[in-house]
Structure 1
Amino acid sequence: MVPQEMTEICNKRMMAALNMEKPDRIPILFSGHCYYNFIDPTMVMADFWRRPKLVDENLIKAAELPILKEIDSPPMVSLGMPAETKHQSFAAKWFAKMKVPGRELPENALWQISEQGPMTEEDYDTIINKGWNYLKQELLKRIGFDPDALPKPDIDYGKKLQVKVAALGKQNIGRAGGMLPFPPFEVLSGARKLPKFFRDLYRIPDKVRAALDIVEDECVEESAKLIDAIPGEYGFIGGTRAGCDFISSKVFEKFYFPYYRKLVPMMHKKNVKAWLHMDGNWELFLHYFAEFPKASCVWDPDHITDIRKIKEILGDKMCITGNVPPALTSVGTPEDCYNYARDLVELFKDDGGFIMNSGCSVPPNAKRENVEAVVLATLGK
């Protein structure tokens, strides 16, 4: 079977799950997999900055290993984007800076977002009077973020990598819009720093809500433009610190969920699914998301929210991914990983709309035999 035919099978499998239909088998989509050390155990996280081409090469080699080749998702190669540019731009979405392994951190440490908190209480008025885009540019200046000063992408190298990845025959379901704006509640909590922002919610709630109305509307408009510019089947939306382990239902209803009521319908009209990547515990808030049209969203949890509760409340409304804990693949045994994955298969076997996935991401220290066990369990071997 040629790679293009394999990709078509993987895409059909993925789209069936996303549309809550039963595919030929459960798709396997491991997020954030850093399998470079399956090829060279001496490699460390700092190599993403120091030896990116070697990381790319080993990620592609790992995708061709026995058993791992059954994973439907492609390896997360750089596509020519320097790690410094990618990660500093990512951190800047919260008006933060990125601490880098091998520089500010030990060589094999995970990169870490370091919040700067450049936004003042007076800046709520700036948003209300001058708009979010005006303040956003000002906040980036305050933290010293200059995108033009970052390393430029290597476009020619990126094209060559695309050819190598295509030869693997993995799914290539597109992410619409690239990196969509994150929920304004989350962004402002980073801009203000979390303790100050949470105090604002109680000290000046009406002003925060008025500012959020403006930020939300601008973010929905920006998302619509990005989706039109970069077509795809789903749009990624990250939820990080607004679950029920962070805020009350009252705060969630007033300050967080209104954004989803604006964003998801817009995406649905454009035939783009909202991929809701939800870190933390959302158990008490799951029922809010059941109001959206069937198959218009994907619930992508980490391992904290009980997946049985997710299935109970959202199982007939949206595709669910799940949710092998990162700790299990890093410090567990192959038997532990196999049994966990088999339990997931049993839970969803009679329904469509399930994708086998890691909880958030497969950690860099995941053991190869543990990842293989999850794959084998999904395949029923």
Structure 2
Amino acid sequence: MSTEIQKLYDERLGRYQATIALEPTDRIPIASGSCYLAEVYSGATNQDIIYDPAKWLQAEMAFIKDFPEVDALRDNRVWAPLYDAVGCKTYKLPGRDLPATQQFQFVEEEYMQADEYEFLIKNPGAFMLEKFLPRVLGEYGGQDANRSHMAFLKAGMASQMMADIMRNRSIQLQTVCGMPQPTTGAFVAPFDVLGDVLRGLKAALMDTYRRPKLVLEACDVLVDIMVRFALSTADPLRRYPIFVPTHKACFMSPKQFDTFYWPSFKRVLERLIDAGYTVRAYLEGDWSQHWHHFNELPKGKVLCDIDTQGDIFKAKADFGQQQAISGGIPDSTFILGSTAEVTERVQHLCETVGKGGGFIINGGCNIPYDTKPENFRAMIDAIMKYGWYDKNIKPVPKAAPEPRAAIDALAKQYRVTPWEVRSKEIGGVMGNEALIQKPWDNLEAMAFNWLWTWSM
């Protein structure tokens, strides 16, 4: 990386990190967590992006060239061949199930039966392998054993290929464009695991009345699983926040949220913070009844994206002194509004919500696919005019914080076949047992974490 590109990367990352930490910086960052416009701006289709990594990277680089003021860039998180390899039923994909120019869609069903809570709680690995995955992965668990085994072999290879694609993309954007990532790694709140892919929204909410104790026990088990999954996919250098979309909270009353959603979600957040990470949370829908809870977390550790249905001004008043927030421009303004309307909105946000820092101007958790490019340009130009705090500040990256707890102390690591079981099966070993046990346990942990890829 050239000295000039390194300087640009450090400036962008430092500005972003300072904003999350509620510390002084030079100006409001331009750092949407999901800039979907970047995927299609240069003419690529949605199918191109999820099937052809080269076209995805080319699209992003073209976007960065035309919008060099952007401080962090993320869009696609799906590599379709992995989903094809296992016949994943939870997504409809552009070019396969949908027209090539449409975005992917999530398919919500009851993939877990009401009488299976105890199985999930007692043995989550066996539950995934025996119940959940055969229902959501069409290539797995069928009558053709060879096809099923091949599907898992292909999935393992495809997972490694996807990791290489994501790593190459990150390196290229950093070293060629000086562009940081807004997030690396992901998880979902324990209740959302139930409400998204296991039970579905209707069944999960009914379960809070019919079997509340089992819902709470399941969420408790999922705390450890989500902590481990998040850490297994996070940036090892702890430069970037871990991403969490929140899907079902906006449908819950304060009493339901306080009982079933927040306690387990809070524990995951606290443990990731203890591990030295920040978190970027998409508060999807209207979170206004719930977002005061972010005042309970350590200051400057969670960046909260406020959706279009939320009130960015109320969010600032309610918890904006404790955590950074992002948002403020309605999606309809990006898609249908004029450049003058965008400019006026940005100026107002800079003069109100932007006061004192800790704020990123964005759409409702994303920059929509259908955003008019001239409106995105108008947002940038307005931020560059009205969004400055102190031009004398030279942003630099923050040193990675030391974890406050060892990883192994943060969450239980589940394994389907622990080394103790395998060691007894083979009757002990002749040499250094630790040399054999460590990779065995690491691979077991990686495989177990992979099972929960399909809960996202």
- Shorter-chain TM range is 0.7 to 0.9
CA contact (8 A) 1:329 1:337 kept: yes
- The one-letter amino acid paired with 2:245 is G
Q: Describe the superposition over 1:256-276 as per-residue Cα deviations: whole angstroms up to 9, x where unpaired.
A: 001133122212222211222
3-state secondary structure, aligned to 2:352: helix
Query: Is 1:182 aligned with 2:208?
Result: no
**What is aligned with 2:245?**
238
Q: Counterparts of 2:110 and 2:191 in 1: how far apart (Å)?
A: 14
Query: Is 1:377 aligned with 2:382?
Result: yes
Distance 1:76 1:334, change over 3 A: same
- The one-letter amino acid paired with 2:36 is H
**What is aligned with 2:325?**
320
**What is aligned with 1:259?**
264
Structure 1 residue 210 displacement after superposition:
2.3
CA contact (8 A) 1:182 1:238 kept: yes
CA contact (8 A) 1:322 1:358 kept: yes
3-state secondary structure, aligned to 1:293: coil
Structure 1 residue 5 displacement after superposition:
0.7
Distance 1:172 1:276, change over 3 A: closer
- The one-letter amino acid paired with 2:25 is P
- The one-letter amino acid paired with 2:343 is Y
Aligned pair count?
365
Distance 1:106 1:218, change over 3 A: closer
3-state secondary structure, aligned to 2:112: coil
Q: Describe the superposition over 1:138-179 as per-residue Cα deviations: whole angstroms up to 9, x where unpaired.
A: 30122226554347327777666455422212235663xx22
Q: Counterparts of 1:77 and 1:62 in 2: how far apart (Å)?
A: 14
Q: Counterparts of 2:193 and 2:116 in 1: how far apart (Å)?
A: 14
3-state secondary structure, aligned to 1:62: helix
**What is aligned with 2:177?**
168
Matches within 5 A, 1:125-274: 125-128=118-121, 130-138=122-130, 139-144=132-137, 148-150=153-155, 152=158, 153=161, 161-162=169-170, 164-165=172-173, 166-172=175-181, 175=184, 178-179=185-186, 181-190=187-196, 191-224=198-231, 231-243=238-250, 246-274=251-279
Distance 1:87 1:305, change over 3 A: farther
**What is aligned with 2:437?**
none
CA contact (8 A) 1:34 1:59 kept: no
Distance 1:289 1:121, change over 3 A: same
**What is aligned with 1:347?**
352
3-state secondary structure, aligned to 2:193: helix
Q: Counterparts of 2:331 and 2:129 in 1: how far apart (Å)?
A: 36
Query: Is 1:83 aligned with 2:85?
Result: no
- The one-letter amino acid paired with 1:184 is P
Structure 1 residue 186 displacement after superposition:
0.8
3-state secondary structure, aligned to 2:340: helix
CA contact (8 A) 1:118 1:142 kept: yes
Q: Which has more radius of gyration?
A: 2
Q: Which deviates more, 113-122 or 303-312?
A: 113-122
Unaligned ranges ≥5, structure 2: 139-150, 387-456
- The one-letter amino acid paired with 2:70 is I
Structure 1 residue 20 displacement after superposition:
0.3
Distance 1:159 1:174, change over 3 A: closer
CA contact (8 A) 1:131 1:214 kept: no
Distance 1:147 1:189, change over 3 A: farther
Structure 1 residue 350 displacement after superposition:
2.6
Query: Is 1:58 aligned with 2:51?
Result: no
Distance 1:14 1:88, change over 3 A: farther
3-state secondary structure, aligned to 2:366: coil
3-state secondary structure, aligned to 2:114: coil
**What is aligned with 1:295?**
300
The percent of aligned pairs where both chains have the same amino acid is: 25
**What is aligned with 2:6?**
4
Q: Counterparts of 1:160 and 1:299 in 2: how far apart (Å)?
A: 28
Q: Counterparts of 1:291 and 1:57 in 2: how far apart (Å)?
A: 42
- The one-letter amino acid paired with 1:114 is V
Q: Counterparts of 2:212 and 2:329 in 1: how far apart (Å)?
A: 38
Q: Counterparts of 1:35 and 1:201 in 2: how far apart (Å)?
A: 40
Structure 1 residue 109 displacement after superposition:
1.6
CA contact (8 A) 2:331 2:368 kept: yes
Structure 2 residue aligned with 1:306, among 287, 308, 311?
311
Distance 1:256 1:4, change over 3 A: same
Query: Is 1:38 aligned with 2:27?
Result: no
Distance 1:71 1:222, change over 3 A: closer
**What is aligned with 2:18?**
16
